[in-house]
Structure 1
Amino acid sequence: MTSLNVLTYRTGPRDVLPVVLLHAFPLDSRMWDDVAPLVPGARTVLAVDLPGLGGSAGLGTSSPALEDAADAVAETLAAVGVERAVVVGLSMGGYVALALLDRHRGLVAGLGLLDTRSTPDDDAARANRLRIAAELESSGTVDAVRPMATALLGETSRTLRPELADRVGALIGQQAPAGVAWSQRAMAARPDRTPVLRRFAGPSLVLVGDEDVAAPVAAAEHMAAALRAPHLVVVPHAGHLTAIEDPDAVAEAIGDLAGRADIDERRARG
């Protein structure tokens, strides 16, 4: 049995769908601290530390794969009594949400994909991830990914709110190098999951910062075009970490997604 660390921001009625938040790389669930309290409605809001990050132990697998991360998330949620949820992932969390949808379809009542993409890395990006993973392992530090504290933020945030880079940098500095390396290798191995989106008929959200360079608006539009019931939100003046850069906009969009998922669940129950 694989058990990941779960942060419970609040609890709500059992007949209302919970929201499960999956974090970005190379951070942990605390990146949702500003968003979670703002999600509208009386519902449970949980965040899961992905394998090897935050308070979660690594999986110890020799061939890192996001599928294993998704299985661990599903097992962890089942252990805390979550059988159906609105699953929201940002960046790497979005990759894991897609793997969950692929492997544990019954768990996902609503899907939120924030600042992420459904397509795999190209050869150059894959090689860069593997290079960084090797550097993390050889140095035993997270120094190779510290520059992401600034690079993940949008130009507006970097200019007007430099304190956000300090906050992101502090989270990066608290991660285990082995967990960060495992995540890099798992992301490098991910497949194209656009076909998975085409099969999903439930309510969905695709959200992206208009200054996101890592997963730009074009990547969001690609996912929205593949979904049957998409809702595309472009957050102005935000980069890749919209949950940190504009938590109000992100919380509002998640609340809308959860509300639509609740309606679908009630209809399905008759």
Structure 2
Amino acid sequence: MSVQLYARDVGGGTPLVLLHAFPLSSAMWLAQREGLAARFRVITPDLRGFGGSVLGEDEPSVDAMADDVARLLRRMGIDRAVIGGLSMGGYVAMALCRRHPDRVLGLLLADTKAAADSEQIRDTRLRQAERLEAEGTPQVLVDEVLPLLLGPTTMRQRALIYGRVRGLIQSAPARAAAWALRAMATRPDSFDTLRGTRAPALVIVGAEDQLSPPADARAMADALPNAELLEIPRAGHLAAIEQPDLFNQVTGEFVSALARTLR
């Protein structure tokens, strides 16, 4: 069953699609919409089941999520876009490169990894999915995921950001979060996809990211034929929220350089 994604669509110019982290929604990209829409067309979809998008009846898979995004672009009349994803959004962006490479004008991978889950991480995701379904609330995500999302600097100095991320997690629908956990747990290794990706790429990582540390970012940048790697200081796994000005600066430079090559 095809799902029609809800998306916020602001600005004009080169299309930049930003895919959100788990278990958040496109609301996480507020600072990017505000900071980048004067220069680019910024499109921030809610991935299936989150925010304003319905879940549908498909089996959990990152491929289904990527196909949703490709359908959204077709519906909007966009042939090619810069595809960006943070964390889970990065997994979806890599699946797009594998399944719809002709859609990818440029690739932005932030705080994510190309390797498939280890057995231990897979087991944790499946256990969390079961608890989400049994309890019907996102409490397990507040207990277990939230503490890993933000870097120590943010936790010490930026209580408002902690509160905002906590609120986004608390509004995650339990059924959609369980579906997404199962989708991530079964996703394939993406290193071959990256090695075959011809589009220019930017890999961003928070220096304090515990979930997808800088070594994972380096491995992705090394696999991509045409990639730049940037580390953002004082940021954990949600660099776009923790250090939005820096994130917007490097993203803006990347998309502007791409846009110049098209003229």
Query: TM-score if structure 2 supplies the norm length?
Result: 0.96
Aligned to 1:17: 14
- Name which of 119, 123, 127 aligns with 1:127: 123
Match of 2:55 in 1: 58
Aligned equivalent of 1:149: 146
Name the residue aligned to 1:68: 64
Alignment partners' CA distance in 2, 1:11 and 1:36:
8
Q: CA deviation at 1:168?
A: 0.5
Give the aligned CA root-mean-square deviation in angstroms.
Answer: 1.2
Q: Distance in 2 between matches of 1:40 and 1:218?
A: 31
Structure 1 position 199, deviation (Å): 0.9
Q: 1:160 to 1:47 in 2, by over 3 A?
A: same
Pair 1:49-2:50 in alignment: no
User: Mapping of 1:153-232 within 5 angstroms?
Assistant: 153-232=150-229
Assess if the C-alpha contact under 8 Å between 2:3 and 2:48 holds in 1.
Answer: no
Q: Are 1:107 and 2:108 an aligned pair? A: no
Q: Corresponding residue for 2:6?
A: 5
Q: Gaps (5+ residues) in structure 1?
A: none
**CA offsets 1:19-77 (integer angstroms, 9 cap, x no match):** 0000000000010101222127622111010011111100212x300000000111012
Give the drift of 1:185.
0.2
Question: What amino acid maps onto 1:264 in structure 2?
Answer: T
Q: For residue 94 of structure 2, what is the aligned residue in structure 1? A: 98
**TM-score, normalising length: structure 1:** 0.94
Contact 2:111–2:237 (CA under 8 A) maintained in structure 1: yes
Question: Are the equivalent residues in 2 in contact too, given 1:203–1:257 (CA < 8 A)?
Answer: no
2:3–2:54 contact (8 Å) kept in structure 1: no
Change in CA separation of 1:87 and 1:78 when aligned onto 2, cut-off 3 Å: same
- Displacement after TM superposition at 1:118 (Å): 0.6
Q: Is the 8 A contact 1:89 1:96 kept in 2?
A: yes
Equivalent-residue separation in structure 2 for 1:258 and 1:59 (angstroms): 33
Whole-angstrom CA distance in 1 between matches of 2:37 and 2:141: 34
1:189 to partner: Cα distance:
0.4
* Structure 2 unmatched runs, 5+: none
Alignment match of 2:259 (pick from 239, 258, 262): 262
User: SS where residue 231 of structure 1 aligns?
Assistant: strand
Q: Which residue identity lines up with residue 138 of structure 2 in the other structure? A: V
> Following TM superposition, by how much is the alpha carbon of 1:150 offset from its aligned partner in structure 2, in angstroms?
3.3
> For residue 139 of structure 1, what is the aligned residue in structure 2?
135
SS of 1:35's partner is: helix
Identical aligned pairs, as a percentage? Answer: 41
Q: Which deviates the most, 208-217 or 160-169?
A: 160-169
Deviations 1:136-175 (A, max 9, x none): 0011111110133332000000001122111001111111
Shift of 1:244: 0.6
Which AA in structure 2 matches 1:42?
R
The Cα of 1:228 is off from its aligned counterpart by: 1.2
Q: Hey, what's the Cα distance between the residues in 2 that align with 1:48 and 1:34?
A: 15
SS of the residue 2:31 aligns to:
coil
Contact 1:40 1:252 in 2 (8 A): no
Contact 1:58 1:179 (C-alpha < 8 Å) held by counterparts: yes
- The structural deviation recorded for 1:260 is 2.6
